[in-house]
Structure 1
């Protein structure tokens, strides 16, 4: 019997974690574009920089996480294949 909540069991799959991380990167990038185009003044500039830094941090952590997963026997083929498999 598996121990953990339904959410923690689903997040144990690398593909699911990858989809969550990529969706957060999309939200961060859209936030950066929105802040850069529509928020006025210094607040817009600082917000855009913060969103870009957040997205870049997620990108780096996903890259390191993917490198660690490459050493396992997981059949992960990338986020696009994960999306196609789930649709």
Structure 2
């Protein structure tokens, strides 16, 4: 009997979680650039800062997650090589 859903089984490896985390960081940064350039006034400034803070938080989370993975014998060599292996 399977405990988790198919999605949780798919993201059981560190590389898959790393790709998702980096994708969220990319989306947050793009959101910061778009809101900073195209939204006027205080709303644009607040949105840009919020997106930058979200991206920074995801970066810190990924860094801590990577430090925890370094203690294992996982064959993870970085997100770029993970993406290249899947393409």
CA shift in 2, pair 1:73/1:2, >3 Å: farther
Q: In 2, Cα distance between the equivalents of 1:48 and 1:23?
A: 18
- The alignment yields a C-alpha RMSD, in angstroms, of 0.9
Matching residue of 1:84: 84
CA shift in 2, pair 1:74/1:2, >3 Å: farther
1:2 positional shift: 4.4
Unaligned runs of 5+ in 1: none
Q: List structure 1 segments (4+ residues) > 2 angstroms apart after TM superposition.
A: none
1:3 positional shift: 2.5
Is 2:40 aligned against 1:40?
yes
Q: In 2, Cα distance between the equivalents of 1:4 and 1:56?
A: 30
How many residues end up aligned between the 2 structures? 87
Q: In 2, Cα distance between the equivalents of 1:9 and 1:66?
A: 19
TM-score by length of 2: 0.97
| Cα deviation code 1:29-64 (max 9, x no counterpart) | 000000000000000000000000000000000001
Matching residue of 1:6: 6
1:4 positional shift: 1.4
TM-score by length of 1: 0.97
Matching residue of 1:65: 65
